[in-house]
Amino acid sequence: MALSFNFDKEADQANGKAFCAGGDIVSAIVCSLAGHWTSSLFFYKKLLASVYLMATYSKSTVSLINGIVMGAGAGLSINTKFRIVTEKAIFAMPEASIGHVPDVGASYFLSRLPGYFGEYIGLTGARLDGAEMVACGLATHFVHSVKLNTLESLLQNATSDVTMATLIETCTDKAVLKKNSSFKRLEIINNCFSKETVEEIIICLEKELENGAEEWIKNALSSMSSSCPLSLKIFLKSIRLGRVQNFKQCLYRDYIISAHLLRRTVSNNFYEGSRAKLFSKDNKPKWEPSKLELVSDEMVDQCLRNIDDEDLKCLELPDHRIESRL
């Protein structure tokens, strides 16, 4: 569950165990197959505009994350000023496993995590718990779930940033990393995921595995070997660009990449991955190209270029928002 507050006493709440875990992808695919490839981009434009609104809203917003947050849900909640997680929180960006790429501003907020931890999260789809989210900076506070109702009531009385921060601190608990947390292996992660290409990253991980069979390395290699090769290379290019760009530029690129994937500019991977993972669920996607070495730089660059198609409407984001913290 994720809950967002602002000082106007408005709240947007997602009930249940997960705040976006594939439902938006299913809708996008169905919409595109039933109509024109641009049909689902209407929803995506609204989503990116909402993400931008949450990130640049002039009054402070709070996300309470007490469950699974992935994809669009991550974009909406991770970009608020205060991001509070519990022991039940789980964060992941597994889009490469369905032929898409981590989006909704991920190339911005993941690229600003310590070292190359963002590359690790985006390329492997690794799941983080609440303590890891606080440790790496995705979350600002850790609060035990039994205190959420109390915190929610306190936040109703917040009248300023200072008041809100003070109220949150009264409920904050210490976040303790598990012994096997991948964030405790940041030195190895930085060494491997700082490489220039996905192929070099994999080679580095394989060498590290020879020095000791750590479970997180096995999981990382397994995830990357089953993910879409083209998606992995697009994301690595995108997050490296995101390191030196602002939030709005990253969202514009997300829109262009998604448009190319829906348009099938280079391949059918997004539809094929969705079929295998979300529709027929055989978990056996047939990627094209099927191997990393078959994915050329031109294929990747093509998915980042503007599309000359009169049916594609431009993404429009407001200019009047407060962008000082972005």
More confident residue, 29 or 230: 230
**pLDDT for residue 254:** 97
pLDDT averaged over every residue in the chain:
89
Is pLDDT above 90 for 22? no
pLDDT tens-digit profile of 140-185?
999 999 999 999 999 988 878 788 899 999 999 999 999 999 999 9
CA distance 293 to 22: 29
As to burial, measured by CB atoms within 10 angstroms (0-12 exposed, 13-18 middle, 19+ buried), residue 324 is exposed
* Spatial distance between the Cα atoms of 196 and 198, rounded to a whole number of angstroms: 7
Angle at 88 between CA 85 and CA 91, to 5 degrees: 65
C-alpha dist (Å) from residue 81 to 63, 155, 177: 8, 14, 23
One-letter amino acid for residue 326 of the chain: L
Q: What percent of the chain has pLDDT over 90?
A: 73
pLDDT level of residue 2 (50, 70, 90 thresholds): very low
Rounded to an integer, the average pLDDT of 124-147 is 97
pLDDT band at 325 (very low <50, low <70, confident <90, very high): low
The mean-pLDDT minimum among 43-57, 109-123, 180-194, 233-247 falls in: 43-57
Mean pLDDT throughout 314-319? 86
- pTM of this structure: 0.91
pLDDT tens sequence across 69-90: 998 899 999 999 999 999 999 9
> What are the tens digits of pLDDT across the range 56-71?
988 888 999 999 999 8
In this structure, which amino acid lies at residue 47? L
